Amino acid sequence: MSFVNGAMLWGLLAVAVPVVVHLLNRRRFRRVRWAAMSFLLAAQEEQRRRLRLEHLLVLLLRCLAVALFALVVARPLSAVAGLALLPGARNVVERVLVLDDSGSMRYRWRNQSSFERAVRAGTDFLETLRRERPGDLVAVHLASQESAWLPFVRPGGEGVARALEALPELQPGGRRLDLAGVLERALAREEGAEERRRVVYFLTDLRRVDWEGEGAARAARALADEAEDPQGDRVVVVDVGPRTAPNVGIVSLEPVDTLAQAGVSFEFEVRVRNFGAEPVRDLPLSLEAGGGRLPLATLAELAPGAEEAVRQRYTFAEPGPAALSVFLPGDGLDLDDRRELALEVADELAVLLLDGEDAPGPLAAETDMLRLALAPPGDERWGVAPRVVLPGDLLARELASAPMLIACNLERWPPRLLPALGRFVRAGGGLGLFLGDRVDAEAWERQLGPRGLDLLPCALGERLAAPGEEGGLRLAPPAEDHPLTRIFSGEGNPFLGRVRVLAYRSLRLDPERHAQSKVLLRLDEPGRTPFVVARPVGRGLVVLFNTTADLAWSNWPRLSSFPVVAMELVRLLAPASAAGRNLRCGEALVRPLDLARTAPTAELLLPGEEQARQLHAEEVPGGGAVLRFADTDRPGRYALRLRARTGEVREERYAVAPDPREGDLRPAAPERLQAAFPGGAVSFARPEPGQRLLALSDGERHELWRTFLYLLFAVLLAEQVLAYRAAHHRRPASAPPAGDAAVGLAPPWKIPPAGGAR
């Protein structure tokens, strides 16, 4: 029970006034004895007990009237669920306040965001508990956090006081709401903890994408047992979101070209969606890059629910870390009005060419023709810097620093390089393989096959020769469009007929072992032997050519299509410029480290912060180390500063984007909510202005001053009746008749004081 005018309760002290008056009145009279008094005393002895009881009741009624008057003025409040003094009203209840801090809660309407509304309601709730339920236990959870933001404490303690100060500083992130996970964490109990009734207050915008579908079904299953128990835990879902919310947002910003190089046009694609119920016209898009902002495109019209893609090109002037930012005009949800794309712009691609046969003479080595295809002589810049190395000269540290390695007619792999080769490919390096007569198929299977590093995209078979009368085998048209073999696409393609393959190996693809391998090009012969096979391994890629890089097995290296495929191979094997640099909110930022070249500590600067955070390397199973940062709830641009052992500082940029579904603000349908959560375990409410959260679970408070006023009137009436009876009681049967002795009927307190008697 609480009071509107609590200070007026001091008026209860006035209950002592009737008692004091009664005691003072008893002292105003003194006893006077005379002879006839003995008859009066004998008559009064019969009524003494009744009179004392009446006098006591009158005094109690007068005290009660004063107390009721004080309560009427104080205006007490109580809940319908039961008065505070009723049995069971003080049982300890565990109350869990859950704040939805997903990206959609940033939506602003009526000059306030949904999250600010939730924080205000949560603050009022905690303050109400401090006043009315100080014996309960309360905890606060944020939907994005695995552990409680505020563990269970008493509402009147310092923990709640600190929480009230920190709540206004909270901000929503960009990740999506995990409905089932949040409810499971809010209802979870520690092993051995006392079993108490628990009520969860879930403040959310109640979006359709969160509360309908598989997530809601998982949450309903988790609450199935509670729905069958009338005394079980309860969840009160409080809707603080808008009923209608128009919104246009950027749902993706992706690279079309995998490789970004300085001075080379780079293509990217941005997709925009209208989440509202009305069409949007003349919507401008702008691009920010290189320190300036320029118009990107204007969308003439975007229908409700429609999505449109815009492709554009941008040329980076300098190599190094870079970022593209695309903007929309601001609306109620700023979360999806901007999207970042982080890149590492390359200058010249270093390509290691591993030569299996370093023969003397012009174009005699295995890699000579491939090297000329990648870097033709002349002054024109091609953006590729090939370097030929021999198996005995290649060092593990060189391999670790190179973006790709292309091996040509290598007999077998040096055992000392095998561990570094496996790490290189799985960490994102590209591996190209050209076969030849020197290749020891058994050694390759043992080293690179399933029993070794498991890098080969197929099993190597025997060497075969093409029929001599036909001048070699031709290439079959590619079955699908792929950048590496696009030059051969199309029926009647002239490049297909010019290639003649004189020798090749039989290649076998096992459906289980090579499930991820893809044949990009085949020979035009009855067996349709694979000619180009690609397989992703870890974060890297392995591409195998069933021919040599020189003229030993085919005439292809002297044809014009060979340099085209060679350049596409380099772009395909090169680590994507955006690879590992663009994350979703909540996805951990993981950066592998080579501790031999890089210091084990780094600095990470978050969006909107001026002070960088310190990161320390973690060891990973199998060797190596990584930098890890998991708190990526804040969307925007992150800057990672690495320090080399030489003292040089290098910066890398990362972009964290929100879940694109956070822009869908359509509210959940009430009938679907009831169907998804049958029973009484979950209730849904949209509180009116001024309505308290505690009232949604314990009942609404009502003022009781009218009830106490009615009681006051009843008490005053009863006091008047009893006072009249006490002063005008009937004469007893044994009393003397009316006459002079009748004066003895006056009660003792009516006898005038001495000096006043007549």
pLDDT tens digits for 719-730? Answer: 788 777 766 655
Going through 88-210 in order, the beta strands assigned E by DSSP cover 94-99, 108-109, 112-113, 137-142, 150-153, 198-204
Q: How confident is the model at residue 85 (pLDDT cuts 50, 70, 90)?
A: very low
DSSP category for residue 336:
G
Is the pLDDT at 460 greater than 60? The verdict is yes
Q: At what angle do helices 114-132 and 158-166 cross, to 10 degrees?
A: 160
Residue 685's H or E segment, with its range, is strand 682-685
Is the pLDDT at 632 greater than 90? The verdict is yes
Is the pLDDT at 365 greater than 80? The verdict is yes
Highest mean pLDDT among 45-49, 355-359, 702-706: 355-359
Q: Which residues, including other chains, have CB under 8 Å from residue 481's CB and lie 6 or more apart?
A: 489
Q: Which residues, including other chains, have CB under 8 Å from residue 369's CB and lie 6 or more apart?
A: 363, 549, 550, 551, 557, 558, 562
Provide the CB-side half-sphere exposure for 498 (13 A, CA).
12
3-state secondary structure 163-190: HHHHHHHCCCCCCCCCHHHHHHHHHCCC
Q: What is the mean pLDDT of residues 454-479?
A: 89
- Name the residue with tokens 């690495």: 642
- CB contact at 8 A, 202 and 238: yes
Q: What is the mean pLDDT of residues 521-542?
A: 94
pLDDT at res. 24: 67
Q: What is the mean pLDDT of residues 103-126?
A: 94
Is the pLDDT at 227 greater than 80? The verdict is no
Provide the CB-side half-sphere exposure for 15 (13 A, CA).
13
Q: What is the mean pLDDT of residues 623-641?
A: 92
User: What's the order of all strands across the beta sheet hosting 598-605?
Assistant: 582-584, 649-657, 636-644, 598-605, 613-616
The b-or-e profile of 367-396 (16+ CB within 10 A means b, else e) is bbbbbbbbbeeeeeebbbebebbebeebeb
Is the pLDDT at 584 greater than 80? The verdict is yes
Kindly report the pTM of this predicted structure.
0.72
Q: Is the dihedral of CA 108, 109, 114, 119 positive or negative?
A: positive
pLDDT at res. 751: 43
Is the pLDDT at 83 greater than 50? The verdict is no
pLDDT at res. 750: 45
- Measured CA to CA, the distance from residue 403 to residue 351 in angstroms comes to 7
Distances (CA, A) of 696 to 86, 91, 97: 20, 18, 13
The b-or-e profile of 281-320 (16+ CB within 10 A means b, else e) is eebebbbbbeeeeeebbebeebeeeeebeeebebebeeee
Highest mean pLDDT among 85-94, 644-653, 692-701: 644-653
- Write down the CATH number for the domain with range 248-345: 2.60.40.10
Is the pLDDT at 32 greater than 60? The verdict is yes
How high is the mean pLDDT of the chain? Answer: 85
Architecture field, domain 587-657:
Sandwich (2.60)
pLDDT at res. 38: 65
Structure tokens at 550: 């020189």
Distances (CA, A) of 27 to 15, 23, 751: 20, 7, 12
Structure tokens at 709: 């006023």
Among the listed residues 543, 552, 630, the one whose alpha carbon sits nearest the alpha carbon of residue 589: 630
Distances (CA, A) of 388 to 223, 402, 549, 589: 65, 13, 13, 35
Q: How confident is the model at residue 289 (pLDDT cuts 50, 70, 90)?
A: very high
Is the pLDDT at 753 greater than 60? The verdict is no
Q: What phi and psi values does residue 507 have, to the nearest 5 degrees?
A: -120, 135
- CB contact at 8 A, 665 and 205: yes
Among the listed residues 392, 436, 698, 421, the one whose alpha carbon sits nearest the alpha carbon of residue 537: 421
Is the pLDDT at 27 greater than 90? The verdict is no
User: What's the order of all strands across the beta sheet hosting 76-79?
Assistant: 2-3, 76-79, 701-703
Architecture field, domain 349-573:
3-Layer(aba) Sandwich (3.40)
- Measured CA to CA, the distance from residue 273 to residue 252 in angstroms comes to 10
Q: How confident is the model at residue 738 (pLDDT cuts 50, 70, 90)?
A: very low
Least confident of 331-340, 437-446, 623-632: 623-632
How many C-beta atoms surround the C-beta of residue 329 within 10 A? 11
Residue type, 261: Q
Q: What is the mean pLDDT of residues 230-244?
A: 85
Class for domain 94-241+667-697, per CATH? alpha beta
How many Å separate Cα 543 from the centre of its chain?
38
pLDDT at res. 739: 44
- All CATH 3.40.50.410 domain ranges of the chain, comma separated, are 94-241+667-697
- All CATH 2.60.40.10 domain ranges of the chain, comma separated, are 248-345
Q: How confident is the model at residue 44 (pLDDT cuts 50, 70, 90)?
A: low
